[in-house]
Amino acid sequence: MKTKITLLALMLFLGFNVVNAQQNQECMTKLSIFSEYAKAKNYNAAYEPWMFVRQTCPKLHLAIYSQGEDILEYKIENSTGADKMNYINDLIKLWDERQVNYGSKTKKGEYAAKSCQLMYDNREMLNKTDEELYNCFDEAFKADRENFKNPKSLYTYFSLMVDLFDAGKKTDAELFNKYDDVVEKVQEEISNYSEDLNKLAAKEEAGQSLTSKEKSYKKYYESYLNAYDQISTSIDKKLGDRANCENLIPLYTKDFEANKTNAVWLQRAAGKMSEKECTDDPLFFKLVNAYHALSPSANSAYYLGILKDKEGKSNEALKFYEQAVSLETDNFKKAKLNEKIGDKLRKKGSYGSARTYYGKALQLNPSNGRPHLKIADMYNRSANNCGEDNFSKRAVFWLAEAEALKAGRVDPTLKSAAAQSAASYKAKAPDKTLIFNKGNQGETIKIGCWIQRSVTVPSI
Q: Domain of 278: which CATH number?
A: 1.25.40
Claim to verify: residue 220 and residue 282 sit in the same structural domain: no
pLDDT score for 21: 60
Claim to verify: residue 8 and residue 89 sit in the same structural domain: yes
Claim to verify: residue 426 and residue 357 sit in the same structural domain: yes
Residue 380 belongs to some domain of the structure: yes
Claim to verify: residue 72 and residue 6 sit in the same structural domain: yes
Instruction: Of 429, 374, 435, 376, give the one whose Cα is nearest residue 402.
Output: 376
Claim to verify: residue 171 and residue 274 sit in the same structural domain: no
Claim to verify: residue 95 and residue 189 sit in the same structural domain: no
User: Which amino acid is located at 247 in the chain?
Assistant: N
Residue 9 sits in which domain range? 1-106
Claim to verify: residue 389 and residue 439 sit in the same structural domain: yes
Residue 392 belongs to some domain of the structure: yes
Whole-Å CA distances, 217 to 21, 201, 213, 331: 43, 12, 6, 21
pLDDT score for 3: 52
User: Which amino acid is located at 270 in the chain?
Assistant: A
Gap between the Cα atoms of 222 and 106, Å rounded: 25
Number of domains comprising the chain: 4
Residue 336 belongs to some domain of the structure: no
Residue 343 belongs to some domain of the structure: no
Return the ∠ at Cα 333 (arms to 359 and 203), rounded to 5°.
55
426 three-state secondary structure: helix
Residue 119 belongs to some domain of the structure: no
**Phi first, then psi: what are they for 444, rounded to 5°?**
-100, 125
**Phi first, then psi: what are they for 456, rounded to 5°?**
-95, 130
447 three-state secondary structure: strand
Claim to verify: residue 284 and residue 372 sit in the same structural domain: no
Q: Is 444 left (phi over 0), alpha (psi -120 to 50) or beta?
A: beta
pLDDT score for 7: 41
pLDDT score for 13: 44
Residue 169 DSSP label: S
pLDDT score for 17: 46
Cross-strand partners of 446? 454
pLDDT score for 18: 44
Claim to verify: residue 234 and residue 303 sit in the same structural domain: no
pLDDT score for 371: 98
Tens of pLDDT, residue by residue, the chain (460 residues): 555 545 434 343 434 344 466 778 999 999 999 999 999 999 999 999 999 999 999 999 999 999 999 999 999 999 999 999 999 999 999 999 999 999 999 999 999 999 999 999 999 999 999 999 999 999 999 999 999 999 999 999 999 999 999 999 999 999 999 999 999 999 999 999 999 999 998 898 888 999 999 999 999 999 999 999 999 999 999 999 899 999 999 999 999 999 999 999 999 999 999 999 999 999 999 999 999 999 999 999 999 999 999 899 999 999 999 999 999 999 999 999 999 999 999 999 999 999 999 999 999 999 999 999 999 999 999 999 998 889 999 999 999 999 999 999 999 999 999 999 999 999 999 998 898 888 888 899 999 999 999 999 998 7
pLDDT score for 270: 95
Residue 335 belongs to some domain of the structure: no
Claim to verify: residue 254 and residue 222 sit in the same structural domain: no
Claim to verify: residue 82 and residue 152 sit in the same structural domain: no
Final residue in a domain of this structure, among 75, 106, 137: 106
Sequence-separated (6 or more) residues with CB below 8 Å from residue 437: none
Q: b/e per residue, 425-444, with b = 16+ CB within 10 A? A: bbebbbeeebbeebeeeeee
Q: b/e per residue, 342-378, with b = 16+ CB within 10 A? A: bbbbbeeebbebbbebbebbbebbbbbbbbbbbbbbb
* Contact indicator for 252, 283 with CB cutoff of 8 Å: yes
Residue 71 belongs to some domain of the structure: yes
Gap between the Cα atoms of 253 and 65, Å rounded: 51
pLDDT score for 442: 87
Claim to verify: residue 172 and residue 275 sit in the same structural domain: no
* Contact indicator for 391, 434 with CB cutoff of 8 Å: yes
Residue 250 belongs to some domain of the structure: yes
User: Which amino acid is located at 274 in the chain?
Assistant: S
CA atoms within 13 A on the CB side of 222: 18
User: Which amino acid is located at 427 in the chain?
Assistant: A
